[in-house]
Amino acid sequence: MAEQFALALDEELIVVLAQRFPEATGRDIKGLAKLVAKYCNQKQVPPDWEAFRKCSLFRGMDVQLV
């Protein structure tokens, strides 16, 4: 999904996302990636953990704190 929505994610962030959203379905992942891409593009910020956290709250996703 990162490639599809042109999100430049490093390996470390991908691991963090997998740990923090263990219950995410494919639909959740696609929706979150799309929202993060729009958010980051609009705000002119990089796709980092904080952007994913904010957008996941908007989508009502459960975040596991590691």
- Asked if the structure places residue 65 within a domain, the reply is no
Read off the pLDDT of residues 33-57 as tens digits, 9 standing for 90 and up: 999 999 999 999 999 999 999 999 9
Q: What is the pLDDT of residue 1?
A: 87
pLDDT at 64: 87
Domain count, the chain: 1
Average pLDDT (10-34) is 95
Q: Which domain holds residue 16?
A: 11-59
Within a domain: residue 30? Answer: yes
Residue 45 lies in a domain: yes
Enter the pTM of the model: 0.89
Average pLDDT, the chain: 94
In a domain, 5, yes or no: no
Q: Which of 14, 20, 16 has its CA nearest to residue 1?
A: 14
| Dist. CA 9–CA 25, nearest whole Å | 19
